[in-house]
Structure 1
């Protein structure tokens, strides 16, 4: 009774044509949404780890070379004072090469910094951020370089982290909504199959076939079609990721996210078509059992 033969000719009805395509689209959308969520989570962690315990001090370099040289000397002395603060892990002035690298996404390569009014930048890394440490840095800066401004990144970092979390949450909600939409489609397609083969199903029912046997025919049919469509959708999503990774690699900008996925993340993506197939199978079974229970 549970052999490989299909007593209900489901392969010839409309569900065989539409369900794989519908599942492929749903899996593609769910996969891309999950990738967005993973990417935004990576960006948030990178921003948080890279900037949560760091400060940037901008020092106006002056208009003439002599003024710039004098300010550079004061900056070097100020760096020595910063290093005496217990929680300061590293304090250094960015070189022209490092400034070029920072400005490259906007101004391109080989920028002549001395021809531009670029301020001197001091990068400070803290072992831990505390109010006392920040007060000490502010006091030394105000005393030695009154025109300098301090940016602790907290304001815009908090906004970026909030935005990244919102986008990640919305992406996960899209995955759940796509799963719900896929279940609804399976219900509709299964009912369509029941309507098309109603006479065959009623005949089996009258001959004494158990509801579980008839449900198995439909659930295995839904599983087979969903697996085919699900892995097709995953393959299309993989090609899309590869295309985006190639384009981002050519752009070579630190401002853009990376779509490089780890083996664990690829395994998580592989669960999407498997999960979609299981949802389709269970949904088809429950739909058939419910419909058969209403038959005389």
Structure 2
């Protein structure tokens, strides 16, 4: 290689720009720590509250469904009770009462409760081997009616008392009114419990958000001072508490759904047993159906949304307080040193 070629190569190498080292962007850490002790504690509290809220919602739904079922069954029937009398032919009086009731518009069918069925009704109180003829036990006639257009009970009651003085018509209105009042009271109490649970959860989230802000207040102040919008800072806290609330509410809601599923399974397996009969009489069927589980899912969504909105509102209000302190020179000493 000649000297001229060497000089040209050296000149070209000298004129080439030096290769710059590659710049690596350092990943930024989140404003709010993704996992800490307070976050785990808040998640546990939200799970407990979600479980209580879903349990209350399911219980209210079951009671209302049971009361509606009882109300529908009672509203479909009326009862004619005939008291025994020495001068009364009971069997003929039962037939006359049934036939008279069926002459009214709005009645569909009439059934005379025979002696064996009457003995079975009294068996829990008087025991086995009961002879109806030896006791002054009233006899019953059950009349099925049309719920949409029921008969004139006043006229039917007057006609029965005129033809059979020992007959008494019971249209079950008192029991229906009591069931409706019980269902409304239960729904009112359940709604109150839900309001208390949601209120306690909101207060818990407010305190937890303020605690997280207190631990990261200097970061929030620096970011806000250099130009970060309040919405950006609030969105970071919002994402953090959204994850916590979703995990907690899902755990509590799934636990409540599992409870109802297990209770329904036990009730189905233990049917016709004293324990199952008592539970059914007190609480009704533990089967909620698709609507009940959909309500639990809705409760989970409401808890997550409420927690997220509460966290955002708390952060925005705190940043507004910081802005007020910065705008007032006499209160700048309230700001911690960055």
* Same structural fold, with TM-score higher than 0.5 when normalized by the shorter chain: yes
Per the TM alignment, residue 96 of structure 1 is displaced from its structure 2 partner at its CA by 5.3
Find out whether 1:262 has 2:281 as its counterpart. Answer: no
Find out whether 1:114 has 2:131 as its counterpart. Answer: yes
When residues 100 and 266 of structure 1 are mapped into structure 2, their CA distance, relative to the original with a 3 A threshold, is: farther
**Structure 2 match to 1:169:** 188
Q: Give matches, 1:33-52, under 5 Å.
A: 33-52=56-75
C-alpha distance in 1 between matches for 2:102 and 2:69 = 25
Please list every run of 5 or more consecutive structure 2 residues that lacks an aligned counterpart in the other structure: 1-26, 271-275, 327-338
CA contact (8 A) 1:245 1:260 kept: yes
CA contact (8 A) 1:78 1:140 kept: no
Per the TM alignment, residue 44 of structure 1 is displaced from its structure 2 partner at its CA by 3.0
C-alpha distance in 2 between matches for 1:220 and 1:103 = 64
Find out whether 1:241 has 2:266 as its counterpart. Answer: no
How many residues of Structure 1 are paired with residues of Structure 2 in the alignment? 285
Find out whether 1:30 has 2:53 as its counterpart. Answer: yes
C-alpha distance in 2 between matches for 1:217 and 1:159 = 52
Per the TM alignment, residue 174 of structure 1 is displaced from its structure 2 partner at its CA by 2.0
When residues 263 and 90 of structure 1 are mapped into structure 2, their CA distance, relative to the original with a 3 A threshold, is: same
**Structure 1 match to 2:316:** 289
TM-score by length of 2: 0.74
Please list every run of 5 or more consecutive structure 1 residues that lacks an aligned counterpart in the other structure: none
Larger Rg belongs to: 2
Q: Aligned match of 1:252 in 274, 277, 287?
A: 277
Q: Aligned match of 1:10 in 1, 19, 33?
A: 33
Per the TM alignment, residue 165 of structure 1 is displaced from its structure 2 partner at its CA by 0.7
CA contact (8 A) 2:106 2:145 kept: yes
Per the TM alignment, residue 231 of structure 1 is displaced from its structure 2 partner at its CA by 0.9
Q: Aligned match of 2:307 in 273, 280, 285?
A: 280
**Structure 1 match to 2:212:** 193
**Structure 1 match to 2:103:** 84
**Structure 2 match to 1:54:** 77
When residues 175 and 86 of structure 1 are mapped into structure 2, their CA distance, relative to the original with a 3 A threshold, is: same
**Structure 2 match to 1:135:** 154
When residues 217 and 99 of structure 1 are mapped into structure 2, their CA distance, relative to the original with a 3 A threshold, is: farther
Deviations 1:171-205 (A, max 9, x none): 12322232222112111100000011222222323
Worse-superposed segment, 169-178 or 218-227: 169-178
CA contact (8 A) 2:118 2:139 kept: no
C-alpha distance in 1 between matches for 2:289 and 2:120 = 27
CA contact (8 A) 1:37 1:169 kept: no
Q: Aligned match of 1:125 in 144, 157, 179?
A: 144
CA contact (8 A) 1:56 1:122 kept: yes
